[in-house]
């Protein structure tokens, strides 16, 4: 009988060395350096080249698919039999205060700290080494195994859409980009952009909101917010310290050239779990709620106040739930205010239950934001994903997980979206274990090295179970 954990442990140093090299690449999407063959920018292109070279050196057949994605395949069987393993090489920006530089991997007390350690470079390398174990042992397979490396998971997944159109997608497989034991159902997404209904008009008031800025991505709870206010600002500045103390957040206010500049620090978290963070943008709007702002600024602040800690969209009239994936969640991720045209907007992500009616959600939201003099200017929708509990892929992954860990392979659902949805019978499989802290999109992101090796063992067993 194969000792999968022992096989993973024997490759510990090589795995960590290869992961270290990948984590050092600052693979944040960068349109400024994008070009033909490098659609996501130079850094992500470098990460893709790194993984393809690493895979080729392991003996896999590799191909770069126009810079949008790449694959590494083991086996030359009928393509219809191919088992897909989909991981991503892009990461979100490394915001916040880190104990060590986010792109200089550091080991402390058995944990490997770096942006991408758990989301998703660590698990992707673990899956690759799982395949390497199967190859090294010479285990007989009857199906191809194809690892597909994506480059735009954090910003819309255009990479996998391109790959699916160009290459076709395996029907069965997993994405090592979530939690163990496995996620068989993923919520859909309704991601609107809200803008003012009419152009701003200069009016006299005690205070004027000159600008407001918070958030980088809708799938991150904003960690910082900045606002500039002019007018009778001294009372407001004096109140800010008390507000921050009351709400247990860090903030700073200063006066410069007759304007008050407010900065508030929240806590970042994944946008699919907004209650796990502290939204700096809506918190700063809460502070400005009672200020005598001009009408445009007042409407903007009031709408953000309605969204403050409204994690399920009740104030927006879009709350709904089902028995499979539970309640809808809302994360206001990008907030901007300015007096010029098109300078004011609010973007949020609503993670919707499997059975949600997007038409109803849009109608309800339109009615709600109309009361704040806002409208919906754009919406990006993503369908939910669901695999029946009795599908063979579910049983195979349950077998692998239980054999390696000895634990019950219960089935989970998520508000997050993974590449698994691109496969008709794809599920999200690891690599965060039950009871462990999930630090994706947070400062000081990490993966426990022992967990990384355990995940590698599970992936090896799973690949063999799916492809034998």
The active-site residue out of 152, 153, 273, 445 is: 153
Which residues are CB-neighbours of 431 under 8 A, at least 6 positions away? 118, 122, 123, 126, 176, 177, 179, 180, 447, 451, 452, 455
Rg of the chain on CA atoms, in Å = 24
Judge whether 49 counts as a catalytic residue. Answer: no
Q: Which pair of tokens denotes residue 42? A: 């130079």
In 3D, which of 92, 444, 443, 93 has the Cα closest to residue 268?
A: 443
User: Using CA atoms, how far apart are residues 142 and 134, in angstroms rounded to an integer?
Assistant: 13
User: Using CA atoms, how far apart are residues 269 and 373, in angstroms rounded to an integer?
Assistant: 29
Name the DSSP letter for residue 33.
G
Q: Is 237 exposed, middle or buried (0-12, 13-18, 19+ CB in 10 A)?
A: middle
Q: Is 263 helix (H, G, I), strand (E, B) or coil?
A: strand
User: Using CA atoms, how far apart are residues 420 and 355, in angstroms rounded to an integer?
Assistant: 18
Judge whether 296 counts as a catalytic residue. Answer: no
Q: Which pair of tokens denotes residue 244? A: 């921050």
The active-site residue out of 7, 90, 451, 465 is: 90
> Among all residues, which ones are annotated catalytic?
90, 153
């Amino acid at each position: 009988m194969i000792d999968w954990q022992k096989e993973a442990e024997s490759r510990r140093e090589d795995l960590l060395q290869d992961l270290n090299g990948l984590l050092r690449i600052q693979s944040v999407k960068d349109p400024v350096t994008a070009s033909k063959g490098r659609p996501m920018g130079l850094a992500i292109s470098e990460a893709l080249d790194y993984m393809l070279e690493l895979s080729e050196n392991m003996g896999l057949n590799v191909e770069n698919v126009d810079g949008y994605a790449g694959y590494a395949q083991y086996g030359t069987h009928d393509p219809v039999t191919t088992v897909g393993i989909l991981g991503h090489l892009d990461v979100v920006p490394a915001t916040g205060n880190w104990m060590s530089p986010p792109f200089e991997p550091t080991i402390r007390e058995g944990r490997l700290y770096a942006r991408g350690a758990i989301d998703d470079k660590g698990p992707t390398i673990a899956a690759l080494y799982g395949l390497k174990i199967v190859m090294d042992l010479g285990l007989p397979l009857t199906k191809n195994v194809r690892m597909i490396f994506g480059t735009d998971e954090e910003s819309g997944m255009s990479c996998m859409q391109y790959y699916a159109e160009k290459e076709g997608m395996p029907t069965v497989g997993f994405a090592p980009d979530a939690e163990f034991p496995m996620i068989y159902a993923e919520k859909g997404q309704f991601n609107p952009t809200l803008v003012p209904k009419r152009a701003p008009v200069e009016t006299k008031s005690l205070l004027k909101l000159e600008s407001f800025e918070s958030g980088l991505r809708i799938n991150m709870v904003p960690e910082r917010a900045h606002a500039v206010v002019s007018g009778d600002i001294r009372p407001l500045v004096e109140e800010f310290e008390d507000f921050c103390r009351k709400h247990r957040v860090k903030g700073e206010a200063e006066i410069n050239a007759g304007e008050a500049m407010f900065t508030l620090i929240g806590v970042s978290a994944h946008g699919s779990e907004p209650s796990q963070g502290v939204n700096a943008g809506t918190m700063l709007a809460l502070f400005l709620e009672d200020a005598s702002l001009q009408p445009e600024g007042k409407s903007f602040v009031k709408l953000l106040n309605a969204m403050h800690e409204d994690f399920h969209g009740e104030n927006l009239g879009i709350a709904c739930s089902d028995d499979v994936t539970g309640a809808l969640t809302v994360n206001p991720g990008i907030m901007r205010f300015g007096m010029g045209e098109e300078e004011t907007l609010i973007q949020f992500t609503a993670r919707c239950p499997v059975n949600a009616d997007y038409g109803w959600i849009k109608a309800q939201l339109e009615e709600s934001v109309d009361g704040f003099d806002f409208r919906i200017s754009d919406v990006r929708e993503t369908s939910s994903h669901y695999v029946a509990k009795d599908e063979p892929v579910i049983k195979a992954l349950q077998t692998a997980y239980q054999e390696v860990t000895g634990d019950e392979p219960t089935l989970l659902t998520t508000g997050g979206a993974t590449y698994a949805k691109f496969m008709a019978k794809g599920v999200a499989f690891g690599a965060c274990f039950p009871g462990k802290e999930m630090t994706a999109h947070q400062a000081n992101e990490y993966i426990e090295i022992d967990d990384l090796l355990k995940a590698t063992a599970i992936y090896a067993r799973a690949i063999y179970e799916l492809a034998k």
